Amino acid sequence: MTVDPLAEIVALLQPSASYSKLVEYAGRWRIRRNIEGKPVFFAVLEGACRVVSSGRPPIIVRKGDFVLSPSTNDHVVESIDAPPYGIAMMPTKIGEGRFRIGKPDEPVNLRMQVGLCSFASPDAVLLVSLLPAMIVASDEPRLALLLQLVADETRHSRPGREVVLERLLEVLLIEALRCGADVTSIPSLSRGLADDRLVTALRAMHARPERSWTVAGLAAEAGMSRSAFFARFTRVVGHPPMEYLLAWRMALAKRLLRTRELTIEHIAAQVGYGSGSTFSTAFSRHVGMSPMRYAKAMRIRHDRYSGFPSFGPGGS
């Protein structure tokens, strides 16, 4: 069975929707989004606008475009004919799930479906760093349909709402990542998966994290020399091969520890360590606490939010 690294990372992120709303924009306007670490996505239904991100050239998005920014640190969305620099506006609610930006007497020049979500994973910062900073997809009917489903689900309190939203957002993110264009050219996992040499090594790491990988072994998977593979992987993915592998193994180990169903020795074997003690040392160095302490902290967190006690390794 072929392993899809992109799907694995999106699933580990555990996305959930904060909101999805229809926004209309009028006249000359500008809005600044600085919700640090919160993924934002929007679909242009009518009109066009400019997206300006720190340290990157501005881009123009038009009707039919879908934009995804997995980590929104600071970017500006503004009208093509933008107001003077320094002027920013706030949205005004005009109906259920509907907002307006701009003066009420100005004509509407843009309509967008805007969504904000969050990632529940304790490793969200690490995992998001493997994704492109911004993706734009054009004329993709599947994305438009998924966005409509997300918007509909966020507006209602139906049974199973959170589970449905999580699955819809997983599909939405994967679909955007695989059909959209990375407009930033920043090193990322997506760029690595698009590289015909690196993709085989990445899939091998994700399919067999328990294997005793070396840079030379991964280079052989990619059909490259050790030095050429190391340089290309680091340049395209943004992390040296063994650093990427360690981060991925630790993310898997955290997920296994949160299930509270396996021994430390079993988890160690599944993520490529020959003994529980070797794994514990590596985990403590990477995470800042021992595997057992981490598992206990996750149990306490789970109990606090679920209202039910749980028992596992080290529990009573």
Domain ranges of the chain: 9-179, 195-301
Measured on CA atoms in the order 76, 80, 84, 87, is the torsion positive or negative? negative
b/e per residue 64-98 (b: at least 16 CB within 10 A): bbbbbbbbbeebbbbbeebeeeeeebebeeeeeee
Question: What is the pLDDT tens value at each position of the chain, 316 positions in all?
Answer: 566 887 888 888 888 767 778 899 999 998 887 655 578 888 898 999 999 877 678 889 998 888 888 765 667 899 999 888 767 688 889 887 889 998 888 999 999 988 888 887 777 777 777 777 788 888 888 888 888 888 788 777 788 877 888 788 888 888 887 777 665 567 788 888 889 999 999 999 999 999 999 999 999 999 999 999 999 999 999 899 999 999 899 989 998 998 767 899 999 999 999 999 999 999 999 989 999 999 888 777 655 544 434 434 444 2
- Using DSSP, state whether 108 is helix, strand or coil: strand
> Which class in CATH covers the domain with range 195-301?
mainly alpha
The answer to whether domain 9-179 has CATH 3.40.1190.20 is no
Q: Contact at 8 Å (CB) between 20 and 113?
A: yes
